[in-house]
Structure 1
Amino acid sequence: MINDVAPLGGEVIGKAASREDAWWLCKRYGLKPFPLDDASAVSLEDAENGSKVWTVPCEHTQFPYDRAAFENRRRDGLAEFESGLPAWPVAEENGIAFQTFRQRLKRGWSGERAATEGVRDIAHNPNDEWEVIALENGLSVRAYRSRVQAGCPEPIAATMGLSWRRW
């Protein structure tokens, strides 16, 4: 069952399904929860409106200014699963870049699909001699092909470093 999460004495900051998830949410948002040595540190209490709230003892009850924590709060608010949990942490665990996640949402994907569907891998063409040279030089297939598509000649696209646009 999913319930709201709040630092002890503070406002609700999100939702979690377990004590550990509630503790990690507070940590993720920069509230510095006290160490979770035993399960009794986080408690499920009745809120004023009759719902249940995970309360986490933390050093801060309001958000301290921490750029990473601010970004996590902003990104967590972009999309949710049907259960009400934020989708971005799952996307992050699945290795999906934030820009990819955000573009998927802009295209109308659901939060669950944007967070769980893997990224496309571009297949290497072993018959393309310049692509083979690009891979030997440490360049990805995607980078090589985007250079060629941008108008860069194949020999230069495969051998130039970061200054390829100045050819």
Structure 2
Amino acid sequence: MISDVAPLGGQTIGKATDREEAWWLCQRYGLKPFPLEDPSDVELVGGDNGEKVWMVPCEHTEYPYDRAAFENRRRDALATLENGFPAWPAAEENGIAFQTFRQRLKRGWSAERAATEGVREISPNPDDEWEVVALENGLSVRAYRSRVQAGCPEAIAATMGLSWRSW
């Protein structure tokens, strides 16, 4: 059963199914739960409207100004999975970059699909000699092709470093 999570004496910050997830959520949002290594003090109590709430003893009851915790909370608020949990941690576990995840959501993808569908790999064309040179120079296939598409000659696109636009 999914229940709300709140630091002891604070407002609801998310949802969790068990005490470990509730403890982890407070840790992720920079509230510093007690004890720091063990979620044993987390309790499931009745809320104001009759629903159960995971109460986590934390050093902070309000959201602290911690940059990493702020980013986690902002990213977690973008989309939720069908089970009610934030989609960003799932995307992060699947190796999807945040910008890719956010663009997928802007294009209308479901949170589930945006967080779980892998990124497309572009396979190199072994018959394109300049593409082979680009790969040997440490340039990705995607970067090489985008340079050529932008109007850069193939020889320059494959051999120039990051300052290729000044040719």
1:1-167 equivalence runs, <5 A: 1-35=1-35, 37-167=37-167
Identity of aligned residues (%): 80
Please list the CA deviations of residues 51-85 of structure 1 after superposition, one character each: whole Å capped at 9, or x if unmatched: 11111111111111112211211111111111111
Counterparts of 1:20 and 1:86, CA distance in 2: 16
Q: State the 1:35 CA deviation.
A: 3.3
Aligned residues: 167
Counterparts of 1:113 and 1:26, CA distance in 2: 26
Unpaired segments ≥5 residues, structure 1: none
Write the letter of the residue equivalent to 2:148: V
Matched residue SS, 2:26: helix
Q: State the 1:103 CA deviation.
A: 1.2
- The list of structure 1 runs, each at least 4 consecutive aligned residues, that deviate by more than 4 angstroms after superposition, is 36-39
Please list the CA deviations of residues 24-53 of structure 1 after superposition, one character each: whole Å capped at 9, or x if unmatched: 111111111123544422111111111111
For residues 5 and 144 of structure 1, do their structure 2 counterparts lie closer, same or farther at Cα, with a shift above 3 Å needed? same
2:45, 2:53 within 8 Å by CA — same for their partners in 1?
yes
Q: State the 1:133 CA deviation.
A: 0.9
Counterparts of 1:20 and 1:128, CA distance in 2: 53
Please give the TM-score of this superposition, normalised by the length of structure 2: 0.95
Counterparts of 2:18 and 2:135, CA distance in 1: 45
Matched residue SS, 1:155: helix
Counterparts of 1:3 and 1:161, CA distance in 2: 52
Counterparts of 1:127 and 1:154, CA distance in 2: 14
Please list the CA deviations of residues 113-164 of structure 1 after superposition, one character each: whole Å capped at 9, or x if unmatched: 1100111000111111111111111111111111111111111111111101
Counterparts of 1:7 and 1:109, CA distance in 2: 32
Counterparts of 1:22 and 1:36, CA distance in 2: 13
1:23, 1:36 within 8 Å by CA — same for their partners in 2?
no
For residues 164 and 99 of structure 1, do their structure 2 counterparts lie closer, same or farther at Cα, with a shift above 3 Å needed? same
C-alpha RMSD over aligned residues: 1.2
1:43, 1:54 within 8 Å by CA — same for their partners in 2?
yes
Write the letter of the residue equivalent to 1:156: I
Write the letter of the residue equivalent to 1:26: C
